[in-house]
């Protein structure tokens, strides 16, 4: 497999594209945060630009108090989303999202919602897509503005899971179809079948020893260290291919590695590429890395999942909270910082100040689109 970086005409900066909008948002954000923070009422008609969001039960606890910090309420979560919105919204724009709703917080049940079968508020954009599972067209939510993001807090959407592909073919695939409805064949030919990223989802199956039988591994130092090892082995391979890659925590126990792509490849191709690279690193480190689909064959190793490279599959978005104790956040990392951090460093309470200090490490991720080709 060989690689060449995309030409300048195919590059663009999320930060440049949204700088003007970010400036215009400052006044709105200050007003929104003040409305949420100063109200002592459980209910609030929140004004966001020309829109209104009816908030209820603002004191409901979504994340109970834990060793990682105090309890986080719906009000706290809404304020968090407002504070990080200038950094988060550019990464969500034009991407269908899967909602992960926990109406009574992380202590109770959750449900995933891909299709929106009700009339959403007028400020929420949707896109109609053909669903092979339903064998029909369905309405999917887009998150294109601050009001939509804040509405997620009201409906207890505690995790943001975004598609790896976008409904917008600009700037690198302007001639690709934007017809997403009617049949599997049509959506297969559309821009939504050409991902912006190839991804590796790294999950450690090294147990802390406190888990009940059948539970997933809890976060622990040994498991995270092995996951860091795998991420760095992957980076060495990608660097050898002259491929730019980006790193973030999953918000739970593992790591995500993202490789931005020029959109000339469909999901079948990117999944095959990820499997080839994954097989290579697994063969070099068979005692530490597994690609086994059977959970029973994973213990003691880090699971390298290449199967997330599929059109309708989603990963936790950058800056998304997770439905786990302490309100952890999926947070971007510099490769040089990987050995110095731990997932619990990044929570709803710490991330806004970190972003204000260092900015968005992924702001220019799509300036680094890679062109990949299979060596003969």
* pLDDT tens column, 53-75: 999 999 999 999 998 899 999 99
Parallel/antiparallel/unpaired status of strands 332-333 and 315-316? unpaired
- Residue pointed to by tokens 């049949």: 183
Burial of 345 (0-12, 13-18, 19+ CB in 10 A): middle
Range 132-139 average pLDDT: 90
Range 299-307 average pLDDT: 97
pLDDT value of position 11:
44
Q: Which of 283, 308, 21, 232 lies closest to 146, judged by CA? A: 21
pLDDT tens for 92-102 read: 999 999 999 99
Q: Which of 310, 322, 336 lies closest to 199, judged by CA? A: 310
Which DSSP helix (H) or strand (E) runs through 100? strand 97-101
pTM: 0.92
- In the chain, where the domains are located: 2-373
> 3-state secondary structure string, 319-365?
CCECCCCCCEECCEECHHHHHHCCHHHCECCCHHHHHHHHCCCCCCH
Residue 7: pLDDT above 80? no
Parallel/antiparallel/unpaired status of strands 97-101 and 157-162? antiparallel
Residue 376: pLDDT above 50? no
pLDDT value of position 20:
58
Chain mean pLDDT for the chain: 92
pLDDT value of position 23:
62
Residues 6+ apart with CB under 8 A from 20: none
Burial of 348 (0-12, 13-18, 19+ CB in 10 A): buried
Contact 197, 258 (CB under 8 A): yes
CA dihedral 128, 134, 136, 139 (to 10 degrees): -20
Neighbouring C-beta atoms of residue 312, cutoff 10 Å:
18
Neighbouring C-beta atoms of residue 45, cutoff 10 Å:
11
Q: Which of 164, 165, 162, 110 lies closest to 141, judged by CA? A: 162
CATH fold of 2-373 reads DNA primase, PRIM domain (3.90.920)
pLDDT value of position 22:
56
pLDDT value of position 208:
93
């Amino acid at each position: 497999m060989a690689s060449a970086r995309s030409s300048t005409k195919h590059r663009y900066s999320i930060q440049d594209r949204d700088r003007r909008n970010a400036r215009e948002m400052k006044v709105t954000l200050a007003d929104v945060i003040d409305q949420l923070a100063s109200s002592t009422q459980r209910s609030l008609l929140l004004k966001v630009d020309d829109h209104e969001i009816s908030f209820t039960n603002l004191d409901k606890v979504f994340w109970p108090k834990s060793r990682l910090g105090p309890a986080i309420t719906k009000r706290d979560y809404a304020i968090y989303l407002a504070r990080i919105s200038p950094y988060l919204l550019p990464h969500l724009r034009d991407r269908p999202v899967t909602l992960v709703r926990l109406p009574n917080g992380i202590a109770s049940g959750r449900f995933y919602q891909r299709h929106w079968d009700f009339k959403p508020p007028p400020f929420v954009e949707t896109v109609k897509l053909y669903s092979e599972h339903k064998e029909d067209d369905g309405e999917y939510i887009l998150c294109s503005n601050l009001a939509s993001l804040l509405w997620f807090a009201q409906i207890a959407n505690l995790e943001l899971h975004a598609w790896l592909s976008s409904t917008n073919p600009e700037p690198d695939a302007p001639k690709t179809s934007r017809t997403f409805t009617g049949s599997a064949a049509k959506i297969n030919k559309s821009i939504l079948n050409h991902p912006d990223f190839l991804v590796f989802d790294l999950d450690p199956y090294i147990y802390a020893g406190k888990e009940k039988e059948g539970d997933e591994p809890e976060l622990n130092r040994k498991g995270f260290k092995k996951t860091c090892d795998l991420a760095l082995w992957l980076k060495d391979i990608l660097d050898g291919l002259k491929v730019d890659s980006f790193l973030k925590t999953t918000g739970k126990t593992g790591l995500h590695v993202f490789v931005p792509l020029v959109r000339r490849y469909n999901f079948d191709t990117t999944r095959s590429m990820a499997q080839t690279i994954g097989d290579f690193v697994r063969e070099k480190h068979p005692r530490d890395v597994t690609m086994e689909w059977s959970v029973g064959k994973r213990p003691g190793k880090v699971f390298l999942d290449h199967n997330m490279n599929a059109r309708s599959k989603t990963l936790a978005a950058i800056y998304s909270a997770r439905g786990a104790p302490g309100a952890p956040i999926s947070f971007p990392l510099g490769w040089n910082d990987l050995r110095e951090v731990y997932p619990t460093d990044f929570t709803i309470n710490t991330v806004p100040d970190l972003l204000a200090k260092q900015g968005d490490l992924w702001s220019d991720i799509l300036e680094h689109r890679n062109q990949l080709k299979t060596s003969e």
